[in-house]
A and B are shown apart, each in its own frame.
Chain A
Amino acid sequence: MSPVAEPERRRFLQWIGQWSVVAAIATQFGGVVRAFVPRVLYEPSKKFKLGKPAQYPEGVTFVPTHKLFVVRERNQFHVISAVCTHLGCTVEWKGEGRQFDCPCHGSKFRADGQRFAGPAPRPLPWYPLSMSGDGFLVVDSAKTVPSTYRFAVV
């Protein structure tokens, strides 16, 4: 063994030692952070049943449990989200002005969800509809559809 190798080996071992401490702490920290990202959400499904088509009157009906509006035009249905795209307050339907108003920061949307006043950056999203086997309307709020969308019930 040469006399020069001794301190070099020592420095190398020191380096290994120090960095393994750093790596160990970082790994444990990473594990803790991971624990805070939920793997399972005990939240309502994004796809859910509403009522039967017949129970919705002509016009706009607010569904508080799912924060959305069911709009019926004779046998044509569509669904608009009631969650303001600004900061998540629930908008209200103003029948006389045919518009949705947000109570938090004063955003206003037309009947088709297009914003015309206030700070909201995006229009209210539309969700696709389908029919369950036992005759209920089903909304998939994980997807959005354009405002030309209509779901016809026969």
Chain B
Amino acid sequence: MRTRLTRLWRWLTWTWSPASEREASTAIVENLWLHWFPAKVDEESFGWRYSFWLGAISAFLFLILTVTGILLMFFYVPSTDKAYWSIKDIDCVVGFGWLLRNQHRWAAHLMVLVVFLHMLRVFFTGAYRAQRAVNWLVGLVLLLLTLLLSFTGYLLPWDQLAFWAVTVGTNIAKEVPVFGESIRFVLLGGTEIGQSALVRFYVLHVVVLPAAVLVLFAYHMWRVRRDGGLAVTDPAAAPLPVASQTPPVEGKTYSLFGVTPGTSLETRAARPQGDGVAAASSPHLLRRLILVFLAVFTVTIILSLISGAPLEEAANPSLTPNPAKAPWYFLWLQELLAVTTIRYKQLTISGGLVGGILIPGVLLVAAAAWPFLDRTPLSTIGRWFPRERRAQNAVFALIAIAIAVLVLIGVLMRGPYWQLYWPWQAWPELPRRL
């Protein structure tokens, strides 16, 4: 009986401790969920200190968000009358609903942060160059989708925080030249934030944007392999001439990755084995993946136990909270909005246009175009902070630090009427109006 169970388990899963190289490869290739990993992985590419596993962490956060999000959908009602109270129920009535919501909130915040850090890692290691430019662009779109997911989710609780953050956010969209008004009109399904806006944000949040992320994520992962794995392995793989591959034989089926240009499974297999450079994906890569997942899950749970997702009073369109703040990852834009209104004689250009559209737009276009403008030697790819890339790394770091500082100022130091206060300074008492 026991052996039969073991056999069933073996049949359903994969060999965790393969007896041979062949068994290790078969374990990966024959499994639907594992076959997208290569059978063997260079040890340097799954070291902790090169990539910090930021991509894997964001993927696991997305997984946690999907599961907790689907569970939350059973209890949430996307109606302006009921949304707020269904969230109250989730927090106070539904068994462990508070934990679900807290974990969803924390995973969302962390995902924005980790995706951004992942982008920094890829830039500082020059891993967006040459054939990887496409994946850099896909990554930028994934970053935008992450922000949009977070922003659309922000409205759903329908409390004061949600309502006003989205008011400010959608009014930024209005500042887009020519099309601004219509973009906001279609986004909200009207001229005000009401029922149609809530349903639109809801469907975007639970179906459209996650589906887009899933498709692009699959492509992102596939491109990583297609482009020759993590950039850190490039220096070792480069000296092998492509000609060393076995010439195609008629009638023979080649693996997908065997025929793509550049480094491939074939060229990698030509490297000397047994010197500890390449390790079998099962179990070495899988073990690390599971460890990373457990760590991510534990961190989100601990954070959820320490601090809950906020819920202010129900949305009130006639009472702006003071100060009214956008979600934290948009606070650097809100800082720019508040200071970038340009006045020249009669001409006034709104801060919404300059700080909300032009500056982030220019940054985005520059990031998208950079792989094609970068002229530093390709030998710097896959190394942290190489000397040859000092100047551009410094500029990129400065922009990232500026964004971080503006976010911190917005979160910690902006009080009523957008005045600056030290974090330890008390805000003045404000009379409640109405």
Residues in A lying within 8 Å of B, measured CB to CB:
36-38, 41-43, 62, 64-65, 67, 86-90, 92, 101-106, 118-122
Contact = CB atoms under 8 A, between A and B. Distances in A.
Contact of B323 (A104, A119, A121): A104
Contact of B348 (A88, A90, A105, A121): A121
A116 B102 CA distance: 43
A101 B418 CA distance: 10
Contacts of A87: 167-168, 171-172, 337, 352
B400 interface: no
Contact of A88 (B168, B190, B322, B334): B168
B396 interface: no
Contacts, number: 95
Contact of A89 (B190, B320, B350): B320
Interface residues of B, number: 40
Contacts of B318: 64-65, 67, 90
Given A89-B168, A119-B350, A121-B341, A41 B191 contact: yes
B433 interface: yes
Report the 9 A-B pairs with minimum CB-CB distance, sorted nearest first: A64-B318, A103-B322, A106-B418, A119-B341, A121-B350, A119-B351, A87-B171, A105-B338, A90-B320
Interface of B: 164, 167-168, 171-172, 185-186, 189-192, 194-196, 200, 317-324, 334, 337-341, 348-352, 416-419, 433-434
23 contacts: A64-B319, A64-B434, A86-B171, A86-B351, A86-B352, A87-B172, A87-B337, A88-B171, A89-B324, A103-B320, A103-B324, A104-B324, A104-B418, A105-B337, A105-B418, A119-B337, A119-B338, A119-B340, A119-B351, A120-B350, A121-B341, A121-B349, A121-B352
Given A87-B172, A88-B171, A101 B319 contact: no
Contacts of B200: 36
A103 B417 contact: yes
A64 B339 CA distance: 28
A38 B186 CA distance: 8
A102 B419 CA distance: 11
Given A87-B167, A88-B167, A106 B190 contact: no
A105 B334 contact: yes
A36 B189 contact: yes
Contacts of B323: 103-104
A122 B323 CA distance: 21
Given A89-B164, A103-B321, A103-B322, A62 B341 contact: no
Given A42-B194, A103-B417, 17 more contacts: A41-B190, A65-B318, A86-B171, A86-B337, A86-B351, A87-B171, A90-B320, A92-B433, A102-B320, A104-B323, A104-B324, A106-B417, A118-B338, A118-B418, A119-B339, A119-B341, A119-B351
A37 to B, nearest CB: 6
A37 B168 contact: no
A91 to B, nearest CB: 8
Contacts of A88: 167-168, 171
A121 B192 CA distance: 20
A86 B174 CA distance: 10
Given A36-B186, A43-B190, A121-B348, A101 B417 contact: yes
A90 B319 contact: yes
A86 B338 CA distance: 9
A62 B432 CA distance: 13
